[in-house]
Amino acid sequence: MKEQNLKLQIRILLEQNIAFGPGKADLLEAIERTGSISQAAKSMNMSYRRAWQLVDTMNQCFETALVETQTGGTHGGGAAVTALGQKVLQHYRQMEINARQTLENDYQIMSSFLKS
């Protein structure tokens, strides 16, 4: 059987917006790691503007913000993932694991149909 790298992506939609998906999950993890939207964007080779757009969309789609920001000052600004943001991220990552496990057999079947 051919070895294929099939990819499953879960996107949570709210009306016309992607409220949460793989890119936003990665961005939240980067913000947690760096404490900064700017540094998170750089670590992902993403523009600061794009990162801000993603954060803004997430914050607008959920009942409370997933990311809180502080404006610069003597010690500079920063960003933090909120408690809800951490819960959403954790649950989303678990959804990815569950989906992969559930669809593993289907992945193998679909892989057999693809060109090598």
Q: At what angle do helices 48-61 and 22-34 cross, to 10 degrees?
A: 110
Higher-scoring residue by pLDDT: 100, 62: 62
Q: What is the DSSP string of 95-116?
A: HHHHHHHHHHHHHHHHHHHS--
* Residue 40 token pair: 């998170």
Instruction: Please check whether residue 69 is in contact with residue 78, taking contact to mean a CB–CB distance below 8 angstroms.
Output: yes
- Identify the three-state secondary structure at position 72: coil
Mean pLDDT (the chain) is: 91
**Residue-range domains of the chain with CATH:** 12-113 (1.10.10.10)
Higher-scoring residue by pLDDT: 114, 85: 85
- What is the structure's pLDDT at 8? 82
* Position 71 pLDDT exceeds 90: no
β-strand pairing of 12-14 with 67-70: unpaired
pTM of the model: 0.86
- What is the structure's pLDDT at 1? 42
With vertex at residue 58, the alpha carbon angle to CA 90 and CA 95, rounded to the nearest 5 degrees, is 30
Residue 22 to residue 92: CA distance in whole angstroms: 9
**pLDDT tens readout for residues 93-116:** 999 999 988 888 888 888 888 887
**pLDDT tens readout for residues 29-58:** 999 999 999 999 999 999 999 999 999 999
